[in-house]
């Protein structure tokens, strides 16, 4: 797929500043995909609980991508300013999401410390998550409950991940009834 998504492995993971950190041999890693949806927040809580139960590292991943449609849209109108400022804004928003995730995990009463790693990457969310999950124990994503038309037009990250993952995947709905109010 895309070559711009970083690969996360079980032995070296980037910390919040992008420096590689060592994960002890044999320690499990649970990867959770994060966006601004209620489903992603529930997925984060589920993944944090699983990380506590398994004594695993919790690896929070946020991806951002303008997509081909945005490039075509901007080029079609001859916008001279380019998409750099928009891409930078998406990067900052993703960084804010993982920072907030760290704050959320720190406030949970898990009974034990959960080691947290974060990755913010540019690229198609499903591919970024699949790359980050290389060597992980579990991949957790939220399901936003997109309609068939939305999935056809934009795709569904959770659907793509389930179909292409080479590890167990848990898909967490936004609400108890499976709907996402966001």
* Chain segment 116-173, per-residue pLDDT in tens: 999 999 998 999 999 999 999 999 999 876 555 544 444 588 889 999 999 999 999 8
The verdict on residue 2 lying in a domain is no
The residue segments making up the domain with residue 33 are: 13-173
* Chain segment 100-115, per-residue pLDDT in tens: 999 999 888 887 788 9
CA 177 vs. chain centroid, Å, equals 23
The verdict on residue 72 lying in a domain is yes
Strands (E), 10-136: 12-14, 20-22, 29-33, 57-64, 116-122
Closest CA to 133 of 143, 121, 144, 148: 121
How many structural domains comprise the chain? 1
> Would you tell me the crossing angle of helices 38-54 and 84-107 to the nearest 10 degrees?
50
The verdict on residue 32 lying in a domain is yes
Q: List the 116-122 sheet strands across, edge first.
A: 116-122, 57-64, 29-33, 138-143, 169-173
Higher-confidence residue of 47 and 13: namely 47
């Amino acid at each position: 797929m895309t070559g711009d998504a970083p690969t996360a492995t079980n032995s070296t993971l980037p910390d919040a500043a992008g420096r590689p950190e060592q994960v002890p041999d044999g320690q499990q890693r649970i990867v959770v995909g994060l966006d601004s949806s209620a489903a992603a927040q529930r997925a984060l809580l589920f993944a944090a609980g699983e990380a506590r139960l398994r004594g695993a590292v919790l690896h929070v991943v946020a991806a951002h991508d303008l997509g081909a449609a945005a490039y075509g849209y901007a080029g079609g109108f001859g916008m001279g300013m380019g998409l750099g400022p928009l891409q930078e804004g998406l990067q900052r928003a993703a960084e804010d999401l993982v920072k907030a995730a760290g704050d959320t995990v720190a406030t949970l009463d898990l009974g034990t410390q959960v080691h947290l790693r974060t990755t913010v990457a540019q690229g198609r969310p499903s591919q970024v998550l699949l790359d980050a999950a290389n060597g992980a124990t579990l991949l957790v994503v939220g399901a936003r409950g997109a309609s068939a038309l939305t999935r056809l037009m934009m795709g569904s990250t959770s659907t793509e991940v389930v179909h292409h993952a080479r590890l167990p995947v848990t898909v967490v709905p936004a609400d108890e009834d499976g709907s996402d109010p966001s």
